[in-house]
Structure 1
Amino acid sequence: MAAIPLTSRGVERLNQELHRLKTVERPAVINAIAEARAQGDLSENAEYEAARERQGFIEGRIAELEGTLSNAQVIDPTALKNTDGRVVFGATVEIEDLESGDRLAYQIVGDAESDIKASLISVSSPVARALIGKSEGDVVEVRAPSGVREYEVIGVRYV
């Protein structure tokens, strides 16, 4: 399997989720299954079915997290000082929408840690792909479902 790029903060967040799933969620669902079994007939037991479904989700997420973490290539954004101000994986980029004048700041992270609400965009997103390699002052075009948008790179930070 190919290396999965993650920031050090992303690895920490995924490790915390994995720990919570293994130490809190998994034991809780095992107890719920045991309680539902104690009620008798499993063929018409909605609590049992719901608990088994939840267990399947938890086990699948644990396997996904373990696979991601085992193939993680950890990149520390603070160690990226020698990029001549260019946008690279892990950089935080401030951009301005040339049409509306809105300013946005995003950190470019791996697919597994992206969260648009936290301003973390995936390196494979159209915006990140357009920004990679650009410098402060450059204008980029992003093809979005709503049409082509133009953004100016206002600043690049490695934090």
Structure 2
Amino acid sequence: MPHRSRVSGWEDPALCAEAVPRHSGLGFLREMLAGRLPAPPVAATLGLTLEEAEYGRAVFVLVPGEEHYNPIGSVHGGVYATLLDSAAGCAVQSVLPQGVGYTSIDLTVKFLRPITVDTGKVRAIGTVLNSGRRTALAQAELRDSDDRLLAHATSSCMLFPIPAR
């Protein structure tokens, strides 16, 4: 059997964790987009990239590869879920004031179409549906380059204060 391998590297995730309380949610995401803060290790592991961030919206992209495959020869559902969770979560983060953080409470995913290496680049577009004092609701759509819907998710997030470090 032919062997394939991949090498990835990442920066210290503590750099981002320490920066969170110093920025609004959107400011934090913009620092990552500008390269002044490193991407999280999961981004290097999966090869996903934050492409856009604006108030109430975040977009991640991924070019699917064999390393994302499940045993039946298509992208594993966990990769879909990670993209959708990242987009929905960062959309929520984009509306948070300085000193407030979030964590996902739940994620409901609907898989609509298979993804393979032939699919090409996919985009996960997250948008905030509602943001309150303690919780936020977001959705995310996973789309291919022809704008076909591949999967959809909704996510509830808990909001909480983050003390300055």
Question: What is the TM-score with the length of structure 1 in the denominator?
Answer: 0.30
Structure of larger gyration radius: 1
Q: Which has the higher helix share?
A: 1
More strand by share: 2
Q: Scaled by the length of structure 2, what TM-score is found? A: 0.29
